[in-house]
Amino acid sequence: MSDMLSIGLSSLKAYQTALTTVSENIASAGTAGYSRRTTDIREVVAPAGITTGTAQGMGVVARGLTRAADVYKTAEVRTATADLARTEAGATWLQRVEESLTGNKLGDRLTGFFNSAKAVAADPASLAPRAAMLEAASSIASSFAATGTALDGAMEDLDKSAEAAATQLNSLARSLGRVNAGLGRQQEGTSGQAALLDERDRLLEQMSAITDVSVTTDTSGRAIVRVGGVAGPVLVQGENTGAITYQRSDEGLVAYTLHFQGEGSPVFPNGGVLAGFAEGAERIAGALDEVNKLATAFAEGINTVQAAGEDLDGTAGAPMFAAGDPAYKLTLMLDDPRGIAAAAPGKGIRDNGNLAGLEALRGSGRFEDTIASVTSANAAALSARRSVAEAQTAMRDSAVSERAAATGVNVDEEAVDLIRFQQAYQASSRVIQIARDTLNSILEIR
């Protein structure tokens, strides 16, 4: 009779644990990163040396929790996350370049300036078209300055974003180090261990959005994390964590350095926003370099044409523009419409021969074509990035769905288990009740 009570009691405890686990699964079904748990219920093993039939039917016991996990599908999600984050980050800075190049209408201002010179050529002695040409020249200077300033602003924002991302990655690494420490103290098969493993995977997925991570785990589930590929330097090992720093040269070359246990190692991210920032910095620096070169060539070319002619007072033309430092800070030096050198030397105020040099410069300098080419190339790259991002979004969504199918909570299945374990729990309660009633009946007979 005591065996019957023992069997009923062990079953009651086991299925109570199972019911708790199922209830937790259902309650956490919508929680991001939560992996399904199952209770490991096993038959009570007879003590060593007992071989008689009386050792049979000793009940069941809950041996612990089993957390659903699929290391391959989880790794696929991290890889897809890193690829998508890199592409989206790159597209963000390409968009900033496009806004800088088109928002200040530099191409239109260049066209307007050269067209205004044609109006002066039509009536060289008139002050009105000359004033209009100087106004167009002022717009050119402002447009160059605004375009360069916008690109510089984009680079400053990129620097801040990259530094913030590195700081966030370092914070996640420290959090993972604490999780590793907790895993080292947890008993296997406990709810606490399962929760820490969920948190570990959540942190790793967040880290993969910042940079590509290579992850290995020990027998306790503690993660060893390398950045920049399987051969990259270690960022997290047990409770020990490193820190990544960001630097950028004037040429737009980005350098990441990982500091771990007193040593610094270069990091070359292949995924995540850190890789996207590196690409973006090169794009911005390239566009800024083109604008500076264009500003320098434009100012020098216009000033050369000015110097070759005479103004309305019959004197050699003075410089119209001065390139700044950086060159895009173009300054309009000429403020008197009479100073435009339209005439060839000695030809008089009604001559427009020197303006032919301006039209020739327009063709040879290809200023309008250059800015249009830079803008078109950037737009094509941006369009390509967006197309890739769409494909990578679909790939990541698929990877997340496959992982969820393997490790997530299916509420319908959990509802079935809930009913099953409830029935088993009630049956166990009934066994105890019957054993008690039987024992009472025996005692009453005596």
Q: Are 54 and 37 in contact (CB under 8 A)?
A: no
Q: Are 16 and 425 in contact (CB under 8 A)?
A: yes
In sequence order, the β-bridge partners of residue 254 are 248
Q: What is the pLDDT of residue 3?
A: 67
Q: Are 350 and 124 in contact (CB under 8 A)?
A: yes
Which distant-in-sequence residues (6+ apart) come within 8 Å of 129 by Cβ?
A: 116, 119, 120, 122, 123
Which distant-in-sequence residues (6+ apart) come within 8 Å of 167 by Cβ?
A: none
Residues 230, 223: Cα–Cα separation, whole Å: 14
Phi/psi for 118 (5° steps) reads: -65, -35
Task: Take residue 113 and report the two structure tokens written for it.
Answer: 């300036």
In sequence order, the β-bridge partners of residue 37 are 67
Q: What is the pLDDT of residue 48?
A: 56
Q: What stretches of 70-126 show up as alpha helix (H) in DSSP? A: 71-103, 106-122
Residues 27, 21: Cα–Cα separation, whole Å: 10
Q: Is the pTM of this model over 0.85?
A: yes
Domain ranges of the chain: 2-67+414-445, 73-93+161-280, 100-150+282-378
* 108-134: b (≥16 Cβ within 10 Å) or e: ebbbbbbebbeebbeebeeeebbbbbb
Q: What is the pLDDT of residue 324?
A: 94
Q: What is the pLDDT of residue 392?
A: 97
DSSP summary character for residue 310: B
Q: What angle do CA 408, 409, 415 make, to 5 degrees?
A: 165
Task: Take residue 392 and report the two structure tokens written for it.
Answer: 């990578």
* Three-state DSSP class for residue 410: coil
CA nearest to 137, candidates 347, 292, 340, 285:
340
Q: pLDDT by residue for the chain (446 residues), tens digit each?
A: 456 667 777 777 777 888 888 888 898 888 888 999 988 887 776 665 555 455 455 677 778 888 899 999 999 999 999 999 999 999 999 999 999 999 999 999 999 999 999 999 999 999 999 999 999 999 999 999 999 999 999 999 999 999 999 999 999 999 999 999 999 999 988 989 999 999 999 999 999 999 999 999 999 999 999 999 899 999 999 999 999 999 999 899 999 999 999 999 999 999 999 999 999 999 999 999 999 999 999 999 999 999 999 999 999 999 999 999 999 999 999 999 999 999 999 898 899 999 999 999 999 999 999 999 999 999 999 999 999 999 999 999 999 999 999 998 888 888 887 888 787 777 777 777 777 767 677 767 75
